[in-house]
Amino acid sequence: MKTEKEIVEDLKEGLASAFDRLFGAYSHKLYYFAFSILKSKEDSEEIVQNTFFKVWEKRKSLNSNLSFKSFLFSVAYNSIVDLLRERLKERKYRENILNKASVNYNLEEAVEFGDLLDNVEKIIKNLPPRKNEIYLLSRVDHLSYSEIAEKLNISVKTVENSINFSINFIKERLGKDSLIILLYTALFL
């Protein structure tokens, strides 16, 4: 029977069986930990999956002399905090937009805005493939410039330049003659 330290050493070497053993040992505890905070089955399952995904990604840098359990629960806790912050931002953002929309609702503008979103989607698809990927990682997946740079193995400056290029690309193709376009630019670009 291997010790946890030995299992972590095996994980560092990329052995899937070590990963499976650690997952089996901790996934339920991690799930209940997340559920005690989030009160959502789906969110708790997502936290478990994301936590073990991060463990696999960072397996080579694990320190087998430190408590794996502490590391695991720290990663999970940080993921929970990030999720709650994101949800709070989304809720406040939606409430703000709904409040403004209910005061200034205009069906014609709503239709125009829907058309605008369709146009922007088409424009984004016409970005060069790498710039499209970087733009979507930033605006859809909400990754920071440094996270994108690390994920794609490029410099932060390259990410920044690609985002700026993409924003200008979108703005140029949208034109500047509509109030709703200015609204879209302020909210999403």
Tell me the pLDDT tens digit for each residue of 81-126. 888 888 777 777 566 656 655 555 454 544 555 566 677 778 888 8
pLDDT surpassing 70 at residue 12: yes
Stronger pLDDT, 40 or 31, i.e. the higher one: 31
DSSP letter for 19, please. H
CA dist 78 and 105 (Å) reads 39
The class that CATH gives domain 106-188 is mainly alpha
What is the average per-residue pLDDT within 44-52? 94
Each domain of the chain, given as residue ranges in start order, spans: 4-87, 106-188
| CATH code linked to domain 4-87 | 1.10.1740.10
CA dist 66 and 72 (Å) reads 11
Model confidence pLDDT, tens digit, residues 71-87: 898 899 989 888 888 87
Averaged confidence pLDDT in the chain = 81
- Full-model pTM: 0.49
Give the helix ranges, DSSP H, for the chain: 4-12, 16-38, 41-57, 68-103, 107-125, 129-139, 145-152, 156-174, 179-188
Instruction: Give the percent of the chain with pLDDT over 70.
Output: 78
